[in-house]
A and B are shown apart, each in its own frame.
Chain A
Amino acid sequence: MTTRALVCLALLATPAVAIAAPKPAPAPKVFISQAWIRQPPPGMDMVAGYATLVNKTKAPVVLTGVVSPLFKNAMMHESVRHGAEISMQMLDKVTIAPGKTYEFKPGGSHLMFMGPKHALKPGEQVPLVFQFKGFDAAATAVVKGP
């Protein structure tokens, strides 16, 4: 009887456990991967960061900026090629079409972080928040050595 009582109790408890379990997080609107920051040389107060963003929604998303608690300021830039020459242009926003991927990568679009709060070391994790029109998306970037 004791065993049966225990089984009954367990069965009764099961729905309660299921209700108490946290709901799975909703699927991210933008999937952010391969986020990394190039370790800045000593004394440099600006550094480039890179990431791959995939728009998982059925509508365009507009990235308006990125922030990190480890930097005073951050901007989005694009290195534009004119033959072998390269110039930098500021990006106010980046629109990613539904299902499409946007890459911040060396020699192309990049995140420019300014005023690091401390000297960054390879392997260090840097929290980032990508600010989109209407929502934010968090990611973690890893610092890579030269």
Chain B
Amino acid sequence: MFPSRLTTALALALLLGACAQSASTDKPQFPHAAITPAPVAVPALSLENTAGKLTSLDQFKGKWVWLYMGYTSCPDVCPAAMSYLAHEYKLLKNPILVQGVFVSVDPKRDTPKKLGEWAHFYDAHFVGLTGDKTTIAAIAKPLGFGYSFDPPDKTGFYGVEHTNLVFVLDPQGRYVATYVPGDQPGMMAQDFNALTKEKAS
């Protein structure tokens, strides 16, 4: 019985080894990103696009999504992040495999028209989406995206405190990694160029 048990153990060890190897090669590599311990599902809830039509993040399945969340009245951080994304996007060798998406957490001020003009200003391929409070909160939760509205100042302007990260969704629509906007310029594009090259070969 002992040799048989040994054989089983050995076979199991080999199998586990093969699985581990397979998992490591299947796992997308983003040398310049923070990677989630495991892919995180993001709910495919209804969001309003810039034409005022209902859609969801599901429509981008099959592509990698660069998702940034913020608000268009943001004077400093959001424009800098979108500008960063636009520059990285221009460096892509296979831009068709990547979709830039901006989700506004401020639907009160960000009308579809305004959102469309804003997103396209940075890159004509980027899209802007928004939704009601509950939907935004449900999408923000699995991403760990935090946001809160400041009280309005005397002019009525209010800022929104929010997480400043680019979330990467894989072609299955799962959250897999984050990049810090402006950090290591060109490296996000480099990661995706390597990734999509591997996929193409």
Contact = CB atoms under 8 A, between A and B. Distances in A.
Physical interaction between A and B: yes
Interface of A: 38, 41-44, 46-48, 73, 77, 79, 81, 84-88, 90, 106-107, 110, 112, 114, 146
A87 B146 contact: no
Contacts of A114: 155, 157
> B interface, how many residues as a size bin?
20 to 34
Contacts of B121: 41-42, 146
Interface stretch (B47-55, B73-81, B91-99): B73-81
B75 A107 contact: no
B72 interface: yes
A88 B158 CA distance: 10
B161 A87 contact: yes
Interface stretch (B4-12, B18-26, B162-170): B162-170
B118 A41 contact: yes
Interface in B58-93: 72-73, 75-77, 79-80, 82-83, 86
Contacts of B159: 87-88
For the complex of A and B, the 3 pairs showing the least CB-CB separation, nearest first, are A87-B161, A41-B121, A88-B159
A42 B117 contact: yes
Nearest to B75: A48
A85 B73 contact: no
B114 interface: yes
Interface in B123-163: 146, 150, 153, 155, 157, 159, 161-163
A112 B162 contact: no
15 contacts: A41-B72, A48-B79, A73-B155, A77-B76, A85-B161, A85-B163, A85-B164, A88-B150, A90-B153, A107-B77, A107-B80, A107-B164, A110-B76, A112-B76, A114-B157
B122 interface: yes
Contacts of B43: none
Nearest to A46: B75
Contacts of B80: 38, 106-107
Interface string B1-42: 000000000000000000000000000000000000000000
Nearest to B80: A106
Contacts of B171: none
Given A86-B161, A87-B150, A43 B76 contact: no
B157 to A, nearest CB: 8
Contacts of B180: 84
